[in-house]
Amino acid sequence: MAVTVGSIAQTLEKVAPKYWAEEWDNVGLLVGNMADSVERVLLAVDGTPEVGAEASERGAEMIVAHHPLMFRSLKNLRADNPQAEVPLKLLKHGISYYSAHTNLDQSSFSSSWLLGQSLGLKEMDYLAVTGYETLVKLAVFMPAVDVEKVRQALVKAGVGESITGGPHSGFYAESFFQSTGEGMFRPLPGAEPSIGSVGDLTRVEEVKLESILPERTVERAIKALLKAHPYEEPAYDLIPLQNRGQARGYGITGYLPQAESLGSVWQRLTALLRDEPWAEIQYRVNNDYVSEQRPVYERNITDDMVTDANSGKTAIHCLGGIRLAGDLAKSVRKVAVVNGSGGSFVQKALFQGADLFIAGDIDHHAALDALQGGMAVADIGHFISERPMLYNLAHYLRSAKALQGVEFIISAADKSPWIVQTSEKQ
């Protein structure tokens, strides 16, 4: 069966449900058709005209991007409206555009987790928890002979999958509790019972099958259950639980295994932004895209060097624009990380006692507040702080059973809008 835009959306929403997104956000399928079949997907941070062109050149039928394509309200789709350029082009080429933004930021697939893990942080947790998954217990009763059929239908609907989001999440499936007992019922005139006869009290050896599932998956589970169950009126319980489900939130905190100087952490951070897997970018040779390990900054300097004809000054497109505020000799143990616009979380990181706060987009005043509170801040740039997320997503999507046969490629045209001045022309 062909994989569709819809099946990719469904797989993404398993880890970043759309309802997690902020009210002001614009996530999900923004351009295209859920029913279109897909063989190649381009992953990018931004839906820039360059990324749009790359998708059509590389034969991708879908773009999965972090930032929404249409953020402010788009009033028309006219050719002379610059805001409409990309959506119009995508429509023309039959390319769908899907955005996973603040919903993805609040999941454990965000860059914050990946950067924290890469720095070697231990005891990682969300910096700002925004909610917990609501959990429900489902218990269903059926004749022993039908257990396997019902169980398999429930498994297919996702019941029994790991619900904690903890470190072992994803490693366990088909979790149920099964017990046996006796069920009874008296079919009344008009019934067509599959066991027993009308008017007789019928006793049946029955099995009770229980599992816990997130509330948002209940509808699908019940649909599968009703279809597989042999009874006209299956008996089942849906019990709301007070147990907390998987947490979600912005950013992370964690501890370095031992105290380290800010200078040393800084050196490791800049090195990992340069050398880690997300530095593997696909670049273009004679219209073919070739994947090769190349440091991000090397690519910047060689591919994106711009010389201003008037001033003669040379500048580079900067993926990071990495800046640090703090005393290099300062001892660091607790670190907080927020990808993207993290400036608004400075107070939260201070309150949690972080020695170093790493984020994209920290403004002047937020940096001063941090320093005054005794916390160092690293502003690594919005783009580079979010680019690692694409590698997380690509890894997840490539390993999804339902999406086998689809190629997930990481954009080469995706880049930070900033240019950093580096030197005067000789």
Please give the structure tokens belonging to residue 376: 């160092």
CB of 386 to Zn ion, least distance (A): 5
CB of 383 to Zn ion, least distance (A): 8
Please give the structure tokens belonging to residue 418: 């900033």
Matching residue, tokens 């008009």:
190
Nearer Cβ to Zn ion (7/48) = 48
Query: 371, exposed or middle or buried, with CB in 10 Å at 0-12, 13-18, 19+?
Result: middle
CB of 340 to Zn ion, least distance (A): 3
Nearer Cβ to Zn ion (332/337) = 337
Please give the structure tokens belonging to residue 287: 């219209």
CB of 132 to Zn ion, least distance (A): 24
Closest residue to Zn ion in the complex (CB)? 340
CB of 46 to Zn ion, least distance (A): 9
Nearer Cβ to Zn ion (7/103) = 103
Report the alpha-carbon distance of residue 70 to residue 183 in Å, rounded: 56
Report the alpha-carbon distance of residue 166 to residue 237 in Å, rounded: 27
Number of residues that bind Zn ion (CB under 5 A): 1
Nearer Cβ to Zn ion (87/340) = 340
Which stretch in 86-94, 117-125, 256-264, 333-341 sits in contact with Zn ion by CB under 5 A? 333-341
Q: Which of 321, 340, 343, 388 binds Zn ion (CB under 5 A)?
A: 340
Which stretch in 218-226, 257-265, 300-308, 340-348 sits in contact with Zn ion by CB under 5 A? 340-348
CB of 78 to Zn ion, least distance (A): 28
Which stretch in 200-208, 235-243, 317-325, 338-346 sits in contact with Zn ion by CB under 5 A? 338-346
Helix/strand/coil (H/E/C) assignment for every residue in 130-182 = EEECCEEEEEEEEEHHHHHHHHHHHHHCCCCCCCCCCCCCCCCCCCCEEEEEE
CB of 98 to Zn ion, least distance (A): 16
Ranges within 347-366 binding Zn ion (CB under 5 A): none
Nearer Cβ to Zn ion (38/252) = 252
Q: Does 249 bind Zn ion (CB under 5 A)?
A: no
Which stretch in 53-61, 185-193, 337-345, 394-402 sits in contact with Zn ion by CB under 5 A? 337-345
CB of 182 to Zn ion, least distance (A): 58
Residues that bind Zn ion in the complex, under the rule CB under 5 A = 340
